[in-house]
Chain A
């Protein structure tokens, strides 16, 4: 479904992503882990069209999508839940969802908002509250709900558990499992590497912009070398 071939992304002089090749197949849950500054967010942003790769090819459903405007990608079924959630704090929960439904046909939009809203009971309860007043967990659910508005084929999630209390972290991991069981394809970047790899079909480890390990999720999670691969270098 998604394939990156030798993708390199630069910010000015900085090479944030260095010839990375990964793929995500239909119906898979794939985890992308690695330390801060490894280029995980850059990878997701490049796929979602916020950044344009310097070299390499990104293809989605068989089509080359390098440098395609995010709005177009959303319409093709690729949605990103960005790092730090980026919900619209000055809009209500309902308005956040409405805005995320900008790609849905006008007559179906109302229905879609209700449909997605019904998946998240906590949001339903705060329907007309400004999103700025939501707790971290609620805000994260809203961010995911927003991405589901366009009924994406592929969902990219960037650090969905960052800054959440442990019980909420559990809820988010459950949500990921649920999404997969509904047949959605998911690529998730997660700081909680062990847990993400355990629930994932496959995993990739990124460090300093390069791919340093890949394999089945459970294999990587149990690998004693993971910590070393993560932090690089020996003593």
Chain B
């Protein structure tokens, strides 16, 4: 029982972070049918922003999250303006490789501009203090993660449900031309989607960096892979699906780690997760929440 609760807390924290990233990926896929493999780089941007601020002007974790989130929003918007805008009508293959090119460029820029090695910055002093509930020990950071993620998801749900921007994004995800006919400006809604995806990635970056305060050129890739998988499990373009996929992936990873027998198998955690995912695609290639529309012939 104790173990179960512990695992649940861990998996909610991890899965929540995946959900924030997957939601951004799904959002961008919704409005322009791009699987953005450069999305994970936003975390890297956030990390180096924190590193620079700490090492130049000094900084405090009281306001650092704002700076990190702002840098992520800015970076996300920039990728749209300099690259994705020009391949908007291209085939998925071209768009996918464009995002990969940006991912490569980001890695290269940090490696060349800063250093291939990890750069650490001050940690949050209280992050790993623990609370004891009976036999269950919970880190403060776990609670912060779960709380912030939940808050971000609730706010996102409200934005999508209540604001004109949210409704426009949902409408554009379903039928872009019809949204244009209503007076929605294509550039604006896509840029808005990138900005919002950047915001969510920024929140995820803050949570990640509070745990592991260091910046490394390729740190975004592992998160990206998990987030893309989560978005695809949920069904690309489905916002509910992205959240469900993120949490499901977090649980799968945490529980496999915990319950697989000792020995070789436990090292194969990632292999198992991806194996399960490959099988999932075979059984249900359209994801949990199907958003595909039939093509007219």
A75-102 near B? 1/0 per residue, CB < 8 Å: 1000110100011111100011011111
Question: Does B167 interact with chain A (Cβ within 8 Å)?
Answer: yes
Determine which of B164, B168, B180 lies in contact with A50 in the assembled complex, contact meaning CB atoms within 8 Å. B180
**Which range holds the interface residue count of chain A?**
20 to 34
Question: Does B85 interact with chain A (Cβ within 8 Å)?
Answer: no
By a CB distance below 8 angstroms, the chain A residues around B184 are 71, 99, 102
A102 CA to B269 CA, complexed, in Å: 48
A101 CA to B184 CA, complexed, in Å: 9
| Size of B's binding interface in residues, CB under 8 A | 17
A70 in contact with B183 (CB, 8 Å): yes
A74 in contact with B183 (CB, 8 Å): yes
A156 CA to B143 CA, complexed, in Å: 55
B167 in contact with A86 (CB, 8 Å): no
Contact A88/B178 with A71-B185, A99-B164, A99-B167 known, Cβ cut-off 8 Å: yes
A88 in contact with B171 (CB, 8 Å): yes
By a CB distance below 8 angstroms, the chain B residues around A79 are 181
A209 CA to B177 CA, complexed, in Å: 23
Closest Cβ of chain B: how far from A205's Cβ, in Å?
A: 26
Closest Cβ of chain A: how far from B270's Cβ, in Å?
A: 35
A90 in contact with B174 (CB, 8 Å): yes
Counting chain B CB atoms within 10 Å of each CB, which of A82, A96, A99 scores highest? A99
Determine which of A48, A89, A102, A103 lies in contact with B174 in the assembled complex, contact meaning CB atoms within 8 Å. A89
B183 in contact with A71 (CB, 8 Å): yes
Determine which of B164, B168, B178 lies in contact with A82 in the assembled complex, contact meaning CB atoms within 8 Å. B178
A70 CA to B180 CA, complexed, in Å: 6
A88 in contact with B183 (CB, 8 Å): no
Closest Cβ of chain B: how far from A212's Cβ, in Å?
A: 27
A121 CA to B164 CA, complexed, in Å: 24
Question: Does B105 interact with chain A (Cβ within 8 Å)?
Answer: no
A82 in contact with B183 (CB, 8 Å): no
Q: Would you list which residues of chain B between 160 and 210 have a CB under 8 Å from chain A?
A: 164, 167-168, 170-171, 174-175, 177-186
Question: Does A207 interact with chain B (Cβ within 8 Å)?
Answer: no
Question: Does A69 interact with chain B (Cβ within 8 Å)?
Answer: yes
By a CB distance below 8 angstroms, the chain B residues around A96 are 171
A98 CA to B178 CA, complexed, in Å: 14
Chain B interface secondary structure, helix, strand, loop or mixed? helix
A50 in contact with B177 (CB, 8 Å): yes
Question: Does A146 interact with chain B (Cβ within 8 Å)?
Answer: yes
Determine which of A86, A90, A101, A102 lies in contact with B170 in the assembled complex, contact meaning CB atoms within 8 Å. A90
Question: Does A150 interact with chain B (Cβ within 8 Å)?
Answer: yes
A99 CA to B183 CA, complexed, in Å: 9
B183 in contact with A150 (CB, 8 Å): yes
Closest Cβ of chain B: how far from A105's Cβ, in Å?
A: 12
B183 in contact with A91 (CB, 8 Å): no
A75 CA to B171 CA, complexed, in Å: 19
A90 CA to B290 CA, complexed, in Å: 12
Counting chain A CB atoms within 10 Å of each CB, which of B168, B171, B186 scores highest? B171
B170 in contact with A91 (CB, 8 Å): yes
B183 in contact with A75 (CB, 8 Å): yes
B182 in contact with A99 (CB, 8 Å): yes
B174 in contact with A99 (CB, 8 Å): no
By a CB distance below 8 angstroms, the chain A residues around B177 are 50, 82, 86
A80 in contact with B181 (CB, 8 Å): yes
A71 CA to B186 CA, complexed, in Å: 8
A95 CA to B177 CA, complexed, in Å: 17
A86 CA to B175 CA, complexed, in Å: 7
Closest chain B residue to A150, Cβ basis: B183
By a CB distance below 8 angstroms, the chain A residues around B185 are 69, 71
Determine which of A82, A98, A103, A149 lies in contact with B167 in the assembled complex, contact meaning CB atoms within 8 Å. A98
Closest chain A residue to B173, Cβ basis: A90
A149 CA to B167 CA, complexed, in Å: 15
Determine which of A89, A102, A109 lies in contact with B182 in the assembled complex, contact meaning CB atoms within 8 Å. A102
Q: Would you list which residues of chain A between 134 and 179 have a CB under 8 Å from chain B?
A: 146, 149-150
Counting chain B CB atoms within 10 Å of each CB, which of A71, A89, A103 scores highest? A71
B182 in contact with A100 (CB, 8 Å): yes
A86 CA to B174 CA, complexed, in Å: 10
A86 in contact with B178 (CB, 8 Å): yes
Counting chain A CB atoms within 10 Å of each CB, which of B168, B181, B186 scores highest? B181
A95 CA to B180 CA, complexed, in Å: 15
Closest Cβ of chain B: how far from A155's Cβ, in Å?
A: 12
Q: Would you list which residues of chain A between 31 and 85 have a CB under 8 Å from chain B?
A: 48, 50, 69-71, 74-75, 79-80, 82
List 7 additional A-B contacts (Cβ < 8 Å) besides A69-B180, A88-B170, A88-B179.
A50-B181, A71-B180, A88-B174, A95-B167, A98-B167, A102-B164, A102-B182
The 7 A-B residue pairs with the shortest CB-CB distance, nearest first, are: A74-B183, A86-B178, A103-B183, A100-B182, A88-B171, A70-B180, A71-B185
> Could you give 5 example pairs across A and B, Cβ below 8 Å?
A70-B181, A74-B182, A88-B171, A91-B171, A103-B183
